[in-house]
Amino acid sequence: MPAHYPVPIQEDIRDLLGDLLGRGVAVDKTAALQLAGDASGVVASYVTADDEVGALCVCDGSFAVLAGAALVLVPATVAREQVDAGTLDEAQLEITHEVANILSRLLNTPRTPHLRLRELHRLPGELPQEVRTLLEQPEFRRDFVTTIEGYGEGRMSILVA
């Protein structure tokens, strides 16, 4: 059964991130991203007009920090230090919000209900039940490893209802 919402392919993500960040981005499929324990990361939830969760974007801490740093031109050495620290501060979360908001373009088509970014959830941390449900039982998912030129590598997953 097909998913209710589009699931972007790596070329779509590569092109969107490359345009957004103004630098080369490589995106490849990879094994399912599992953020367990105290691993840092972000879950972006996208909802319909009725506030029903239709999609999630799960990013490991590396992707969140590096994509955000590339967007606002934080030096790569500083970004790598932040990745090594293993936490996401409020400023990094705010920048990741902007990246996640732009990614919503890939989740909408004229034939599906419109999805918009509702909120980001920092990991480790509690997730709302509807987010946990989709995280555990997506209709479809794609997992990617991204390499941002000059910054490094991170992982992200798109899960849809």
pLDDT band at residue 87 under the 50/70/90 scheme: confident
pLDDT at 3 over 80: no
pLDDT band at residue 144 under the 50/70/90 scheme: very high
Residue 2 lies in a domain: no
Residue 123 lies in a domain: yes
pLDDT at 4 over 70: yes
7 φ/ψ sector (left φ>0, alpha ψ -120 to 50, else beta): beta
50-79 pLDDT, tens digit per residue, is: 999 999 999 999 999 999 999 999 999 999
Cβ neighbours around 20 below 10 Å, total: 17
Residue 5 lies in a domain: no
Residue 108 lies in a domain: yes
Residue 28 lies in a domain: yes
Mean of the per-residue pLDDT values of the chain: 94
Residue 72 lies in a domain: yes
Counting the structural domains of the chain, the total is 1
Q: Which range of residues forms the domain containing residue 47?
A: 10-160
Rounded Cα–Cα distance for residues 109 and 66 (Å): 28
Which pTM was predicted? 0.94
User: Which pairs with CB-CB distance under 8 Å and at least 24 residues apart come from 107-110?
Assistant: 107/5, 107/6, 107/8, 107/46, 107/54, 107/55, 107/158, 107/160, 108/5, 108/6, 109/5, 109/6
Containing 158, the helix (H) or strand (E) segment is strand 152-160
Residue 3 lies in a domain: no
CATH number, position 89: 3.40.1550.10
Residue 96 lies in a domain: yes
At which residue do the structure tokens 């345009």 appear?
19
pLDDT at 9 over 50: yes
Rounded Cα–Cα distance for residues 84 and 91 (Å): 17
Nearest to 42 by CA among 76, 15, 67: 67
Question: How big is the chain by its Cα radius of gyration, in Å?
Answer: 15
